Structure 1
Amino acid sequence: MAKGTMRYWAAAKAAAGTHEEPYDAGTLAEAVAAAVAKEGRGGEFQRVVGRSSFLVDGEPVGSRAHESVLLPDGGVVEVLPPFAGG
């Protein structure tokens, strides 16, 4: 298991109720599942995260399966919901 930081932006930040929080997970899928399962988080957070893009230490995850994305110890996961405007 790796320990690091998940950072939330825009709608993800609002739905999470925080800008960032620690993760303790081996893969991106595990980190996202743990974040969704946190007490007090409802369906809106799950919906936003389900539509979000992710960066791991600045590198886009893209279409890779989240189960295959290994998280580094001390890493940063950015959760980027779809943005409107230009």
Structure 2
Amino acid sequence: QGIGFDSADAGIWSQAVLVGGLVIWLLTYLFRVGTHKMTYNQQLKNYEDAVLQKRLEEMTPEELAQLQAEVEEEKKS
């Protein structure tokens, strides 16, 4: 009503804006779910990467050589 609409039109337009915003938010949410860009997925990936990095840093040179040989064998298969 503050911008010149009567009460019926103001109600309709405010609901339209609310529903439009909700639809846009829902579409962005579904897009993030579909592309796995959710906060939880990103945190899980970061945690897994950090755990693997820590394990690699703790391995001895012999263990690293053995792991590399296993990886090479899998690539050949």
TM, length-normalised to structure 1: 0.20
Q: Which has the higher contact order (CA 8 A, sep 6+)?
A: 1
Pick the structure with more strand per residue: 1
TM, length-normalised to structure 2: 0.21
